[in-house]
């Protein structure tokens, strides 16, 4: 069995093929970075999001990680446009209405010192008159574009979004576009949230 951690760059599809969606320009896929046969992503990460993506050929392990009943937390660092008030953060913590559903309560806090991340290519839009802030948001659910919709709902559009942790495993020492096998101890960090009984 293979268990991989990948630092997905901005504007890379979380799949190994271009898919059926029409595109005037070929988009980068996982196949541009990972040449390991028969592994598949655990869940997905939006085309315009960055960060931790797990891949495996272990179908049972994959299913347990994406099954909402196990409540596996996912942590994101989010650069937003505007200043985050205590009231706005409390709305994220309490859960809020988005489209036709209400989000579960999230963990949300300010990141006082901006994280030391390499510049994004292409860079985010910069407007001198509007401040930006960094938030750390942890969810136990993963609906489509949920973090972006949550920050938009509190008046703080997302500029940059990076997933930095799944369960107890944090993305570390991997540059954008790099991958490696998870170690046995790292797999153990994911077990409490998945019920994984791998020996």
Write the CB contacts of 47 (distance below 8 Å, at least 6 apart in sequence). Answer: 11, 12, 13, 14, 27
> What are the angstrom distances between the C-alpha of 192 and each of 54, 78, 151?
16, 26, 29
User: Catalytic: 67?
Assistant: no
Consecutive H or E run containing 110 = strand 107-110
Q: Given 32, 38, 46, 57, which residue is catalytic?
A: 46
> In the chain, what's the furthest Cα-to-Cα distance?
55
Active-site positions? 46
């Amino acid at each position: 069995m293979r268990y991989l951690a990948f630092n997905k760059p901005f504007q890379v599809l979380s799949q190994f093929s271009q898919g059926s969606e029409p595109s005037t320009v070929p988009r980068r896929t996982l196949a541009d970075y990972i040449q390991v046969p028969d592994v598949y992503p655990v869940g997905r990460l939006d085309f315009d999001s960055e960060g931790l993506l797990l891949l495996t050929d272990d179908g049972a392990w994959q299913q347990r990680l994406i099954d909402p009943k196990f409540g596996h937390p996912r942590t994101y660092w989010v650069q937003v446009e505007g200043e985050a008030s205590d009231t706005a953060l409390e709305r994220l913590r309490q859960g809020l209405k988005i489209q036709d559903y209400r989000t579960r309560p999230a963990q949300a806090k300010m990141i006082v010192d901006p994280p030391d991340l390499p510049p994004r290519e292409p860079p985010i839009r910069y407007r001198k008159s509007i401040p930006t802030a960094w938030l750390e948001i942890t969810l136990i659910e993963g609906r489509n574009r949920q973090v972006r919709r949550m920050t938009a709902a509190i008046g703080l559009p997302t500029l940059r979004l990076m997933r930095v942790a799944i369960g107890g495993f944090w993305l570390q020492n991997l540059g954008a576009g790099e991958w490696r096998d998870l170690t046995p101890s790292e797999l153990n960090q994911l077990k409490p949230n998945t019920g994984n009984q791998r020996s």
